[in-house]
Structure 1
Amino acid sequence: MQKYDLAGIGVGPANLSIAALSEPIPEVKFQFFDSKPEFRWHSGLMLPDSQLTVTHFRDLVTLVDPTSKFSFLNFLVQKGRAFRFLEANGLSCSRREFEQYFQWTAAQLPSIQWGKRVESVSMTADGFRIALNGGGSSVTRSLVLASGSEAQVPMFAKPFMGKSVLHSSDLVPLRPEWKGRRVVVIGAGQSGAEVVNHMVSDERSLPSSLTWTSSGPNFQPLDDSPFTDEWFSSNFLRYFNELPAQRRADILREQRNAGVDGITDSLMGSLYRRLYHLDHVIQSDMRHRLLTGRRAVGLTQEGSHYVVDLHDLNRGKVERVPADLVILCTGYSNQVPEYLKPIQERLAIVDGEFQTNADYSVDFDGPSDHRVYVQGFAQSSHGISDLVLSLASWRGASIINSVVGREVYRVTPGATAVDWQ
């Protein structure tokens, strides 16, 4: 049976960053498990025009180790496309090319085991025992959980899920037909905008009607101004982590209201121009309604079509909208993984949320030298950056430092314009 210092469960960008950063540390044994056969990143919504919403400098390693061979820039150099990339993209990057970078990195890391699903985690005298599918197992001193999020589907839609009612994360594999059909898209964040943009990009396959709803006061832009971007700095994160729980919850709501769930300027401009072109230049037959202040509250099936109930938050009435295809761009949620059941009572979990320390470790009723770290489950304690790429390398470096017991990577706060203290 293999024994490790740190085992990671789930290999998305978060744990891939730890795997890359841990590669040059010979005195510590790391291992990572994922049930997928290979690295895939949001494959269900990997649309042709999807772009990163952050700069490519926020890759797996650069902000804590710019000399790492696993940087995005080195990926470009090794692929022989660095100069052309800079001419074509500048600081932007397609999501598909960033997935290629992730895959290139993962292929070089023997510490990752693909096709290994974790069935359970239990506690033994030697550490955490990880039981794998097929009967294999490993023992580790510490764990880092990054097993990802699940599509968030409203209760009223669950009985109808399939090819005509689907979450945006299933758009690519299900490939629903929308040409000549009545389509309702629910949700006005980046995913909703990408779905709508993709749907209207080809005038040969337009819906007969398109209804796109936002529960907010408008179709809001993503605020990526410099002062707002300091929310994704290590200085702000440390400041946020030390605040009282109620104040942290208030700030999280304010961050989302300020546009964290919004749409990038480039996509918003492209989509607006496309709708103008369809309406006034080619005068397409597609009818479209973009509705604000509407929350979907119900769904029924009537014969071969569906009816979506939209609650008008401003007027207090409910409008019933017929649809042949309903796409839910309703986000994601993180649940406590089932494989933790054998040790769940020993972990500090309140209302389904892990109670985490500054180093991303969870309060644990066990030996002090055995720790459980989480990524993607610490939003309430570490802020909005826990869910996005922006601080992946800093977060990974912080966890590595904690596991190793020394500062392998510098994670002390740098300079910011705002005095976060």
Structure 2
Amino acid sequence: MLKHSDSYSVIAIGAGPANLSLAALSAPIPEISLHILEKSESVSWHPGLLVEGAVMQTSPLKDLVTPADPTSAYSFLAYLHEKRRLYQAVVRGLEHVSRSEFGDYLRWAAEKLGNVQFGEQVVAVELRGKSFNIITSRREYQTHTIVIGVGRVPSIPDWGRDAPPNEVFHASTLLAQRRELSSKRVVVVGGGQSGAETFLHLLSGACGALGSLTWVTRRANIFALEDSPFVNEWFFPQYGGWFFEQGGSTRKQLLEQQSLASDGVNCSTLRAIYNALYDREFHRGSYPTHVQIRVDTTADKLSGVSPFLLGLRQQMTGICSEHVADIVVLATGYRTEIPSFLEPIANRLTVVSAPGGSQEILVEKDYSARFDGPENCHLYVQNGARFQHGIADTNLSLTPWRASTVLNSIVGRTAYDCGPARGVVDWYSSGFEDSHSSASKQPACRDPAHVD
């Protein structure tokens, strides 16, 4: 915990949900003066993937503030009330909130907060004496406390990195421009939610009548999002604390086992795709459409102009085939990388390698970076430590809890109660005690082969 001071000037870099939560929760704390620097001209939350019908996979009650402060004026319910939509939303059901509406909520919160400096791209963070000096595209700032919340970057396979950006592009930029793909042979790579939404968007004819449409994934099927009550306890604070205490190999194994809890496909999206494919079969669609599973996609480095030649290898049989594509959409996820503006102080930070090619700044339990600098300078990292803090780190679920943890650390007191939420799974216990039995009695362990 940091030593207490009379006041704290905090600069937060990035106006995504993480730092907007930090700003909203810091508003009632008189000793904190916080400003957010954002390179864009407005709050823009996944604009390239706001396809029609895209809904939240997380409850909107896991907004910027509610789990930490249900009385906050910056909650999603306060937003609905101000917009005169609260009664309608309750009747409709909050499980149907679209990503577009949640994005509008984020813009509303930023405007209400009034401490976001838009159009300020951070160029460099350096040490000047015993404070940080932040250089932006417009000016310089001095502070002792920085909170980074710039999000993750698209993960692009090596073979797609030098390709022409209008013909081979990440799904996150799907709607960045109007795309007319009539008669084009299109391949979508990736079997998660963004791959499903991209496939459905193209299947709907939004980009014209294609020449062909192929969806490939290395997964064993197109799997639904794991959204059961016990699975959702992976997104509780106490699980994150338990995960933080595990070793690297255990963390890696756990994240692999939990992939469908964050990157499965909404059942409504799966049904819409299946219905659309069924209707195409019945009406004999005008162009070929294919879904291929257990397929590894490879290629020589794609450069020049289309068409491109992709290699598709069937995992079960090892059979390889070639597929010609004019357009390749990469729904290949995201990775964490160290922001380039930290280069001047990079030698003072510890970096850990994470699965998927990610590079994470080593952080403590309170999300403060392990920083070899002046004692009064502190750097915090939000949504950039999935390999260290668990599956919820890059998800909205624990955003207010994490921001509260950071704020408590900054002010050196409990401004918000960050104790564990009540849950049914005990992550720390290795067994249980029967109060009616002898303390010396050892439990009987059955053969695991006979235990359900």
- Please report how far the alpha carbon of residue 204 of structure 1 lies from its aligned counterpart in structure 2 after TM superposition: 9.5
**Aligned with 1:365 (options 364, 372, 375):** 372
SS at match of 1:29: strand
- Please report how far the alpha carbon of residue 100 of structure 1 lies from its aligned counterpart in structure 2 after TM superposition: 0.4
**Aligned with 1:267 (options 269, 284, 291):** 269
SS at match of 2:36: strand
Quote the residue 1:292 is aligned against: 293
- Please report how far the alpha carbon of residue 176 of structure 1 lies from its aligned counterpart in structure 2 after TM superposition: 2.4
CA distance in 2, matches of 1:178, 1:150: 26
SS at match of 2:230: helix
CA distance in 2, matches of 1:196, 1:167: 13
Quote the residue 2:113 is aligned against: 109
**Aligned with 2:215 (options 206, 212, 234):** 212
Quote the residue 2:387 is aligned against: 380
- Please report how far the alpha carbon of residue 111 of structure 1 lies from its aligned counterpart in structure 2 after TM superposition: 2.0
Identify if the C-alpha distance between structure 1 residues 254 and 327 changes in structure 2 by more than 3 Å, giving closer, same or farther. same
Identify if the C-alpha distance between structure 1 residues 30 and 301 changes in structure 2 by more than 3 Å, giving closer, same or farther. closer
Matched, 1:232 2:235: yes
Quote the residue 1:177 is aligned against: 180
CA distance in 2, matches of 1:101, 1:204: 28
Quote the residue 2:31 is aligned against: 27
CA contact (8 A) 1:56 1:92 kept: no
- Paired amino acid for 2:415: V
Identify if the C-alpha distance between structure 1 residues 111 and 203 changes in structure 2 by more than 3 Å, giving closer, same or farther. closer
Structure 2: give runs of 5+ residues left out of the alignment: 1-6, 354-358, 429-452
Residue deviations 1:321-369 (CA, integer Å, cap 9, x gap): 1122211111111211111111111112133321111101111112333
SS at match of 1:205: coil
Identify if the C-alpha distance between structure 1 residues 303 and 173 changes in structure 2 by more than 3 Å, giving closer, same or farther. closer
Percent of pairs with identical residues: 35
**Aligned with 1:131 (options 135, 139, 158):** 135
- Paired amino acid for 1:379: R
234-243 or 204-213, which deviates more? 204-213
Identify if the C-alpha distance between structure 1 residues 259 and 104 changes in structure 2 by more than 3 Å, giving closer, same or farther. closer
CA distance in 2, matches of 1:143, 1:388: 21
Quote the residue 1:395 is aligned against: 402
SS at match of 2:113: coil
Pairs within 5 Å for 1:53-64: 53-64=57-68
Identify if the C-alpha distance between structure 1 residues 239 and 166 changes in structure 2 by more than 3 Å, giving closer, same or farther. same
Identify if the C-alpha distance between structure 1 residues 27 and 296 changes in structure 2 by more than 3 Å, giving closer, same or farther. same
- Paired amino acid for 2:223: Q
SS at match of 2:424: coil
- Please report how far the alpha carbon of residue 21 of structure 1 lies from its aligned counterpart in structure 2 after TM superposition: 0.8
**Aligned with 2:46 (options 42, 45, 53):** 42
CA distance in 1, matches of 2:142, 2:206: 56
Question: Which ranges of 4 or more aligned residues in structure 1 deviate by more than 4 Å?
Answer: 299-304
- Please report how far the alpha carbon of residue 402 of structure 1 lies from its aligned counterpart in structure 2 after TM superposition: 0.7
CA distance in 1, matches of 2:9, 2:151: 22
Matched, 1:77 2:52: no
CA distance in 2, matches of 1:350, 1:243: 15
CA distance in 1, matches of 2:104, 2:174: 20
Matched, 1:191 2:194: yes
SS at match of 2:296: strand
Quote the residue 2:346 is aligned against: 344
TM-score normalised per structure 2:
0.88
CA distance in 2, matches of 1:365, 1:187: 40
Residue deviations 1:32-91 (CA, integer Å, cap 9, x gap): 101111100011111121111111111000001000000000100000111112223432
Matched, 1:142 2:145: yes
SS at match of 1:97: helix
CA distance in 1, matches of 2:411, 2:340: 28
TM-score normalised per structure 1:
0.95
Identify if the C-alpha distance between structure 1 residues 131 and 375 changes in structure 2 by more than 3 Å, giving closer, same or farther. same
SS at match of 2:407: helix
| Aligned-residue CA RMSD (Å) | 1.8
**Aligned with 2:425 (options 404, 415, 418):** 418
- Paired amino acid for 1:82: L
- Please report how far the alpha carbon of residue 268 of structure 1 lies from its aligned counterpart in structure 2 after TM superposition: 1.0
- Paired amino acid for 2:154: A
CA distance in 2, matches of 1:88, 1:274: 25
Quote the residue 1:94 is aligned against: 98
Matched, 1:120 2:124: yes
CA distance in 1, matches of 2:99, 2:196: 15
**Aligned with 1:244 (options 244, 247, 250):** 247
- Please report how far the alpha carbon of residue 179 of structure 1 lies from its aligned counterpart in structure 2 after TM superposition: 2.8
- Please report how far the alpha carbon of residue 315 of structure 1 lies from its aligned counterpart in structure 2 after TM superposition: 1.6
337-346 or 169-178, which deviates more? 169-178
Quote the residue 2:356 is aligned against: none
SS at match of 1:386: helix
- Paired amino acid for 2:392: S
CA distance in 1, matches of 2:79, 2:261: 32
Identify if the C-alpha distance between structure 1 residues 148 and 367 changes in structure 2 by more than 3 Å, giving closer, same or farther. same
CA contact (8 A) 2:221 2:294 kept: yes
Identify if the C-alpha distance between structure 1 residues 318 and 29 changes in structure 2 by more than 3 Å, giving closer, same or farther. same
Identify if the C-alpha distance between structure 1 residues 91 and 224 changes in structure 2 by more than 3 Å, giving closer, same or farther. same
Quote the residue 2:431 is aligned against: none
CA distance in 1, matches of 2:136, 2:70: 35
Matched, 1:278 2:285: no
- Please report how far the alpha carbon of residue 180 of structure 1 lies from its aligned counterpart in structure 2 after TM superposition: 2.9
164-173 or 229-238, which deviates more? 164-173
Quote the residue 1:152 is aligned against: 155
- Paired amino acid for 1:388: N
Q: Which has the larger radius of gyration?
A: 2
Aligned length: 416
- Please report how far the alpha carbon of residue 301 of structure 1 lies from its aligned counterpart in structure 2 after TM superposition: 7.0
CA contact (8 A) 2:164 2:304 kept: no
Quote the residue 1:334 is aligned against: 336
- Please report how far the alpha carbon of residue 203 of structure 1 lies from its aligned counterpart in structure 2 after TM superposition: 8.6
- Paired amino acid for 1:359: D
CA distance in 2, matches of 1:204, 1:350: 41
